[in-house]
Structure 1
Amino acid sequence: MLYLKNGDFVDQHIVSIEDRAFLYGDGCFTTARLKAGEIMLWKRHLQRLQQAITALRINCDIDFIKNDKEKFLQHLPDGATGTIKILISRGTSARGYAIPNQSADIYFYYYPDAHCLTQPVILERVGLIAETLASSFRPLKGIKTLNRLEQIMLKSMAIQQQWDEALCFDVEQNLVEGISSNCFVFIDGIWHTPDLQCTGINGIMRQEILARMQHYQIPHQVRIISKAEISQIEAGFLCNALHPMQIMGQLVRDQDIVQSLDRQKCLQLFESLQLKELV
């Protein structure tokens, strides 16, 4: 692994116990796929960080992130593959919730991975989480803050059920997303993805797939999808910046009902959208 903090490489990652990221989860982050030494969908990741910095009122110049990114990539092995995480913390400050004036701290992480996927991942068992996602505080809507406790608890629930992933719903029992991904489902001859007006993250890969669907004229809708429609799903997949397509093999609707889905529809879409370049 390799770490960079505010443009300086560090051998051991040590963060102050007074850091607001530790005290309050005061910051944001994005996680990206590194392929052949390049960060995939970099412009979208940069836009995500800029949106979060603005919404959270963090004192961080986006040009510093750009410069640190170039310096960081130059120190990686040629053709490096793996995961890049960029984390922005408001930094250390005196006790209290009041926003300090100092510049934010910018962290880059590199996690090497020699394994390069060339095809979609198959998730054999995808369950339905009973607990509902909290509605977003409007100023934080869609922002990937450092507070991921909700996802940690949901992941624990899925592991207990021996599910590979799970679909999550809001208080109105409408489909939102996976635990660590966005979702697309095929119903009545068309692809659908949930409207994220109340909660959920408008992920990097979701944005890219929607743009490609429009470009390649693939019929699709962004709409409210009720839990009652789950039985009508013919095919579906989950996506995030590290995995453009994770095909849902089976939906576990309860202990007695397992709904098998059409994997071929997802594979056909994978080819139509030319997502192979992103894996």
Structure 2
Amino acid sequence: MMNVSDCAVTMVPSLKNRALNYGDGCFSTMLSRKGHIQLLDRHTKRLVNDAKKLKIINSKVSFSIDDLKNLIKTFALESYNAAKQSTETKSVETEWQIVKLLIARGDSERGYAPSMDSAPVFIPSAKDYYPVADHTVSLGLAHMKLAEQSILSGVKHLNRLEQVMAKIELADHEGVDDLILTNAKGLVIELTSSNVFYCIDGIWHTPCVEKSGVNGVMRQYILDYMQRNQIICNVSDMHVSALLSAQTAFSCNAVTQLVPVSHVSIGNESTCYDIGPSQCLAQKISDEIAKEKS
């Protein structure tokens, strides 16, 4: 049985790496403050679960949540300390960094079929992050549709071409900050790089990601928070037109946390949201996350 000590950690993968050739792997993008990762338990659990779904972890290859925690903790702290030492070259100092860990199945010769006993390659990266306080986002509707693939649904795999094309489309949408992505039936799935929650008549809703979309770490945290605090939230399929009936909404991911939505435009119709409830919820969740230890 191969374990994490047999695997390579590199910032420069080889040209034979399956991540480069086939998008064969998974990743997680994390927020680090002073070298400490927020929601580390959830990120590592998601990485291991995704690696199992992709069969990177199998009967011949294994690594644990604790293995990933140790790797990420060490890298995040080293990255922060290195950034601190180079502050004299920066005009603005920040205690925040975005840390990403990419797990590739490994290297292989030509062909889609992988070797099930190839050693995974861990590819970490980090960059400084400058949070923007009290900002909001406005939403439009993407023309492109997300495909349904139950085998990969919820997985943060490396094939992000749908999101790339959505970002290209976003550049052509004037007056909006992000786009709502739907499936072929017009059901809301997610935003270009975030999940979405919206409230209709006092009931929160978030899209189901069982057939497409990403089950984001922050989405999971918010759902758990709502359950603990007896806030009703339905995880369900809902047509995009329902967003026009919402009173408040927010986007969320592990880096930006919760960002209130100011308004949504769908076709010729638009709705302005009350950002107050989303701001209040965002502050409570941010305060709770800040108390957690990585």
The answer as to whether partners of 1:19 and 1:93 remain within 8 angstroms in 2 is yes
User: Which blocks of at least 5 consecutive residues in structure 2 are unaligned?
Assistant: 1-6, 85-93
Q: 2:126 aligns with which of 102, 110, 114?
A: 110
State yes or no: 1:121 paired with 2:135. Answer: yes
Residue matched to 1:250: 263
Distance 2:277 2:241 in 1: 22
Residue matched to 2:199: 186
Amino acid at match of 1:267: Q
Distance 2:244 2:68 in 1: 45
The answer as to whether partners of 1:60 and 1:103 remain within 8 angstroms in 2 is no
Q: CA RMSD in A?
A: 2.0
Distance 1:247 1:257 in 2: 20
- Change in Cα spacing, 1:274 to 1:65, as seen in structure 2 (3 Å) is closer
Stretch moving more, 212-221 or 84-93: 212-221
State yes or no: 1:71 paired with 2:71. Answer: no
Aligned positions of 1:1-279 closer than 5 A? 13-58=11-56, 59-62=61-64, 63-75=66-78, 76-77=80-81, 80-100=95-115, 101-113=117-129, 115-117=130-132, 119-123=133-137, 125-136=138-149, 138-162=150-174, 163-254=176-267, 256-271=268-283, 273-278=284-289
Distance 1:263 1:74 in 2: 35
SS class of match (2:193): coil
Shift of 1:277: 5.0
Deviations 1:226-264 (A, max 9, x none): 12323211111110010111111111112x433211111
Distance 2:131 2:243 in 1: 32
> Deviation above 4 Å: which 4+ runs of structure 1?
none
Deviations 1:36-86 (A, max 9, x none): 321000011011111111111113513542332233234232794211100
Amino acid at match of 2:151: P
Distance 2:182 2:204 in 1: 18
Distance 2:118 2:144 in 1: 39
SS class of match (1:121): coil
Residue matched to 2:87: none
Distance 1:52 1:155 in 2: 24
Amino acid at match of 1:237: F
- Change in Cα spacing, 1:242 to 1:74, as seen in structure 2 (3 Å) is closer
Deviations 1:150-200 (A, max 9, x none): 000011111111321011111221111111110000112211111222211
User: Which blocks of at least 5 consecutive residues in structure 1 are unaligned?
Assistant: 1-5
Distance 2:114 2:263 in 1: 46
Shift of 1:132: 1.4
